[in-house]
């Protein structure tokens, strides 16, 4: 395995936090070699951005552990976590231009939603670089910023891991989400993370993409519908 995944304290300065689920079963030799390759490629891609690299490696480790806890494939979660910020290496204007070239349309000026674009860009570009990777990984990467009303379990794991990985500063919302790990259903954990993200955008007086509210409302209405059928 690579230097980046052979020593967890190198990624998590204080070791494995108490809220973190147990590590999954060991990978096969072939899986471990692929993980090492993706991490090495990412270290080249994010050269000069050590914090972004460590964040990505931390999301990979967090996602694999959440996946094992919630019955999702840890290997796919690990890969998605490692590669989720691949396109964060691009400068802002290049990100926007590249999104336009790829035909990404969000019904809003891309200048306003630039922070949401990197996952969508990576999900469209990386399949040709890594054709061996399960398409479910690209969907999870595509959805890790904006989310979706129909998130798969893998999508939710990566979304949550991105927000709570141990290198994030322990803001109250992050601590609350970490405390839900293992005590809450995955869907509830995701909705908490998604909702807290909306609150953060509002609290910091940033532009809130209207599609985010549409996603939130669709999720809430679907939950109410399920609850009504179960009553």
CA distance 164 to 171: 10
Chain mean position to CA 192: 15
Distance CA 33, CA 79 (A): 12
Task: State residue 224's pLDDT score.
Answer: 83
Say which residues have a Cβ less than 8 Å from residue 227's Cβ, sequence separation at least 6. Answer: none
d(CA 76, CA 138): 10
Task: Provide φ and ψ at 144, rounded to 5°.
Answer: -75, -15
pLDDT at 229: 66
pLDDT score for 20: 96
- Residue whose C-alpha is closest to residue 198's, from 210, 208, 188: 208
Q: Which two tokens stand for residue 108?
A: 């809003």
Contacts of 161 by beta carbon, 8 Å cutoff, 6+ apart: 59, 62, 63, 66, 77, 81
Q: What's the pTM value of the predicted model, to 2 decimals? A: 0.93
64 in Cβ contact with 78 (< 8 Å): yes
Positive or negative torsion for Cα 108, 113, 116, 119: positive
Contact present, 78 and 35 (Cβ < 8 Å): yes
CB environment 96-114: b (16+ within 10 A), e (fewer): bebbeeeebebeeebeebe
Contact 81, 61 (CB under 8 A): yes
pLDDT digits (tens, 9 = 90+) for 196-213: 999 999 999 999 999 999
All residues at 6 or more sequence positions from 117 whose CB lies less than 8 Å from its CB, including other chains:
87, 95, 96, 99, 104, 110, 145
Counting as low any pLDDT under 50, the low residues of the chain are 1-7
Q: Give the model's pLDDT for residue 3.
A: 41
Residue 231, pLDDT score = 52
């Amino acid at each position: 395995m690579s230097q980046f995944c052979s020593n967890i304290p190198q990624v998590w300065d204080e070791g494995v936090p108490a809220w973190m689920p147990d590590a999954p079963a060991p990978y096969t030799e072939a899986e471990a070699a692929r993980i090492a390759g993706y991490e090495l490629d990412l270290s080249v891609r994010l050269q000069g951005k050590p914090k972004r690299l460590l964040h990505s490696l931390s999301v990979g480790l967090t996602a694999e552990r959440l996946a094992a806890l919630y019955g999702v494939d840890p290997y796919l979660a690990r890969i998605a976590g490692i590669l989720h910020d691949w396109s964060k290496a691009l400068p802002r204007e290049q990100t926007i231009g590249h999104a336009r070239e790829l035909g990404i349309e969000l019904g809003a000026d891309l200048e306003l939603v630039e922070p949401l674009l990197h996952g969508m860009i990576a999900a469209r570009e990386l399949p040709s670089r890594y054709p061996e990777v399960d398409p479910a990984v690209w969907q999870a990467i595509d959805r890790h910023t904006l989310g979706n009303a129909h998130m798969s379990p893998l999508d939710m794991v990566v979304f949550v891991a991105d927000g709570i990985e141990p290198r994030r500063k322990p803001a109250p919302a992050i601590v609350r989400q970490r405390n839900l790990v293992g005590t809450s259903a995955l869907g509830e954990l995701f909705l908490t993370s998604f909702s807290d993200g909306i609150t953060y955008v509002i609290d910091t007086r940033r532009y809130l993409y209207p599609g985010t509210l549409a996603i939130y409302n669709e999720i809430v209405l679907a939950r109410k519908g399920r609850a009504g059928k179960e009553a």
